[in-house]
Chains A and B, each alone.
Chain A
């Protein structure tokens, strides 16, 4: 039987159905494999370099200086240690300035991994320890921003430093892909002289520890009870940071799109297997007639299918491997890590997935070959054996559920994907049914039009399937290529031209008046300064707050960290009070005004009593109202605002946001020279960076969705094949009746163009709906009805479907009236 199966496969490999089945398998598996390979490599990279990224085996970080006692304790337990300080600061060179992430290190840095500088030629040079006190190592980006070269002098606070090296690899840079400011590394000894660190400055103090795991564990036990509020002790790099979340979302999104492609491909596999089975009813009857048992016949075709499945899966995995190299290139700047080689896990999983769809989608239709009766050989007009709907539809459904579980692992997400795909399909199918129904009303003029219209309306099941499949592919692509870009654009346009483009933080109280006057004297609007005090929420209505009380990641993070509080006499008009009383701080009562979103997240209600711990002291007050804040305006605002007098002004630093034309840049340089502790953040540059990253991620998902579109077209081909015999017969009759090839071609073109028009229009509508919902619900934007979608969608549908349809039915056009059928 195996020999027979191989023989059949060799002969039939080029038959239409098997070619299609193979193509569908390859596309489906490749779609899945590309993303699994990539995400697997990314995960491996994250894992492998865990200690490196963390900067040690154990890291203590704090926003206040660390007690010397800890260093002594580390010393005693015999582990290596290194301490660092990181903070943001502006560096100045000549007339240029730029924000940088300063890292001040000691001689032991780095404990794990290697720090290398760009050296002679292209060979990176590994260095250890801190740069000499008069020197600084910088990221190339900074040189670019300042327009200087290695060897130039930088001013950092009150000190001047010579750029003596360009950083090539910084081991503990972490996964922070939003590179807000280029890194500079300096010797910790210069910090005092630089006068950069003032009371209230945001500085991260870090003690990295590395050594034998037992010693590390013991030290961890010693240090843990000594931790102060806001101190953190970690053995894992920060994964629940915003970066980590974004990373995870990006991966999930890729997986989702690849899964949609996979499901469509699976449908094509099922359809071609179905047709294959129908075409082999007679062969099965012959085998049975020659004395083969029903089991043998089923075994024969099953073996053949499995062999094909294996072949398709292997080729698909190879293609997927190549595709993930493209993904790697597309996302090079987003995840700035070198990825390790791929492992066998995604390879095996993708192979398994390919075999699973072969079995789940391909085998059930073949099962009818078992039911063929040998007497069929005498009566070829016997109806094909029917299969129960359970047998036909249940295995595919189970296969998909199983695969989603294998991929995503999360039940909820799996259910969501299934629901989403089902909803999309439902939408497309309903739309297609409606439009085809309408098309039935058209009174065709001429034979071409009639042939085209009846082709669509009479084979309406097939037509609906074709529309749904191609429509899904198109919709995903439109969503990524048109809608996402238009959303970004309308976000951009929503930002007023004179919106602040510059944030100034770390301003000391004593500097506020001076800076205001400085700007006013130079014709700038006087910026408003807001006080800022850092505090941690410790109790709501006297109930202690802890991370364990919350399920959502964001809420857990919010209660673990300190965040910024402010105080004011009058709330900004741009953030209206949505519930509670007007802001009357003059009453002397201790009251808070809380942003609505965060109140919801933390379960804070009106009139709750919140207790914050600020510099070790509890501050209590009543929630007087909830505010709505539109963060997109780039105005300074706060989650929680206190009445004046509740917070100690001596602990405050000030923040301001203002708009400065690029021509006024020298003003800023002057300002920073005079006040070295100031930190200015260029919002425009930051936004540009976020936009770039979104575009890159979008492009990579777009790339994966090409598989989805290809799979959609495979379903189209499979559907065309189902109608092929009928089409050939009709075409032959038309030819006998005197129709020319041109006319048949025109009829087919019209039919597929109509189908494409419907698919494209529905896809555009679907993409627009999704875009609208996203804009309205998630981003609070206006998504305009006037969109390129309405042009691109139908056009792509018509062109794609006509080309594919004509290609698939070229035999129908070529048919000669004399051919026997």
Chain B
């Protein structure tokens, strides 16, 4: 489902070239769940961005299904994101001027799905927000916003779901509920999950783990926990 081969990211900083990611390779099978673990600044978000086609690697390649992401242009990657990928972020990233319902409808409408509204309402019921359909993000709590984000991530029935520290901005009780919801929905939909976290307990709920330190994989640690 997701294949990563020798991915590296080098940026040019004022102090000269800087390697944020070096030689990352792994494969995730359909239906699997993978946790990417690492300290803050390790390069997890950068990797996730590359995996999801938001950013381009400077070395190596990424395949989603049999699509070589690194060979597509931005519009091509947008098409892949639209049809195959869902996202949940640490800072929710809802569109502030749209209601909860409208936020969930966006990916469906981008795909031209006819029953966008009905499907979005169902999803919001599923995440327990049936009474918040017409609220804008400013009127929702952090946990509620993240539920909307989860509903939106699953709206277009993606085959791949990326989550970047989805509980990072939430207290632990709320975070726990959000994670439960995420895994439950993921199970229902049978999507492949790639989850970035620095929380070892959360990582333990995933099928496989991958440790990153200063932009490099620690393959042995990953194997150890496996």
Contact = CB atoms under 8 A, between A and B. Distances in A.
Contacts of B156: 291
Contacts of B52: 289
A375 B55 contact: yes
B97 A8 contact: yes
Nearest to B106: A290
11 contacts: A12-B97, A283-B95, A287-B95, A289-B93, A291-B85, A291-B111, A373-B54, A374-B78, A377-B54, A378-B49, A379-B45
A283 B97 contact: yes
A378 B98 contact: no
Contacts of A294: 74-75, 78
B137 to A, nearest CB: 11
B110 interface: yes
B107 A291 contact: yes
Nearest to B109: A4
A724 interface: no
Nearest to A12: B97
Given A294-B75, A374-B74, A374-B78, 20 more contacts: A7-B98, A8-B97, A11-B98, A11-B99, A283-B95, A286-B94, A289-B87, A291-B82, A291-B83, A291-B110, A292-B82, A292-B110, A293-B74, A294-B78, A295-B75, A373-B55, A374-B55, A378-B48, A378-B49, A379-B45
Contacts of B121: none
B74 A378 contact: no
A226 interface: no
Contacts of B109: 3-4
B110 to A, nearest CB: 5
B146 to A, nearest CB: 14
B75 A293 contact: yes
A777 interface: no
Interface in B57-100: 74-75, 78-83, 85, 87, 89, 91, 93-99
Interface string B115-141: 000000000000000000000100000
Interface of B: 45-46, 48-49, 52, 54-55, 74-75, 78-83, 85, 87, 89, 91, 93-99, 102, 106-107, 109-111, 136, 152, 156, 164
Chain A binding site: helix, strand, loop or mixed by DSSP? Answer: helix
Contacts of A8: 97-98
A378 B78 contact: no
B78 A291 contact: yes
Interface in A372-410: 373-375, 377-380
Given A283-B95, A289-B93, A7 B79 contact: no
Contacts of A377: 54, 87, 89, 93
- Which bucket holds chain A's interface residue count? 20 to 34
Nearest to B44: A378
Contact of A283 (B89, B96, B102): B96
A287 to B, nearest CB: 7
Interface string A659-687: 00000000000000000000000000000
Nearest to B82: A291
Nearest to B92: A286
B89 to A, nearest CB: 7
Nearest to A292: B110
Interface in A406-463: none
A3 B89 CA distance: 26
B74 to A, nearest CB: 7
Nearest to B90: A378
Which residue, of A7, A282, A289, has the highest number of chain B Cβ atoms within 10 A? A289
Nearest to B164: A378
Contacts of A296: 110
A287 B81 CA distance: 11
A819 to B, nearest CB: 13
A643 to B, nearest CB: 87
A285 B80 CA distance: 16
B47 to A, nearest CB: 10
A379 B82 CA distance: 21
A715 B64 CA distance: 50
A375 B78 CA distance: 12
A468 B175 CA distance: 52
Contacts of A291: 78-83, 85, 107, 110-111, 156
Closest 8 interchain pairs by CB?
A291-B82, A291-B81, A375-B55, A11-B97, A374-B54, A375-B54, A378-B45, A12-B97
A4 B91 CA distance: 23
B110 A290 contact: yes
